Structure 1
Amino acid sequence: MSNTKNTSQPQDSPKPQNSQESRTDNDDNNAADHRPRPMEVLREARAQFTELTGMAAESVTSFEQTDEGWSLEVEVLELARVPDTMSLMASYQVELDPDGELTGYRRLRRYERGRADAHRPGGR
């Protein structure tokens, strides 16, 4: 008898003792891999907002992750005027779910492009 094994066949890798734990760990890792990155969320939010409203976001002035997903504040040109400093701008709050899908938006304020915010203690 010989103690040598046939090395042309691949050897089985050791299997985890609890395959349920292994599956859960892999699912958690896959979920983390599919979670959108902040820049992806910003790009997608701007694209979705533009598609829904027809107004392109000129800038994002606020961006944060919340318990419900993401919250952004975007500035848009609502009405172009001449001179440009008289154009009407608007600030919108945009809400997204954890996957970066737009779930709602609302206009916070309108203002002329050339006007600075009045200083108001304690908020907007």
Structure 2
Amino acid sequence: MANGKYKQWLTKEGLLRIQGWARDGLTDEQIAKNMNIGLTTFYEWKKRYPEFRESLKENKDVVDRKVENALLKNALNGNVTAQIFWLKNRKPNEWREKREIEANEAQSSSMNQLIQSLTQARGNN
């Protein structure tokens, strides 16, 4: 396990540094680089050491909440892009793009016309 490096990161000080990076919005890859370990080792440590995994999770959740709150604030203050993003993600059945449905309706209409044409042609024979 990376020559025992994990021990230094499971100390109070090590976990605080990791928590700070997670709160700053760094990705797993960036945190692993700051820790001077490979990404594979990073993921192995997340599986093996619950305190490591929880420190990351809890502090990434903090940043996610801040971004969610900022997005909501922007949406409520009239930012149309933020409003669209929010609605498409929070209420996808009502706000997603309708292109897929329109394409399916067009295909269905074409299929019905083909069936009708074949039925008529068959009736004429």
Give the alignment's TM-score, normalised by structure 2: 0.22
More helix by share: 2
Structure with higher strand content = 1
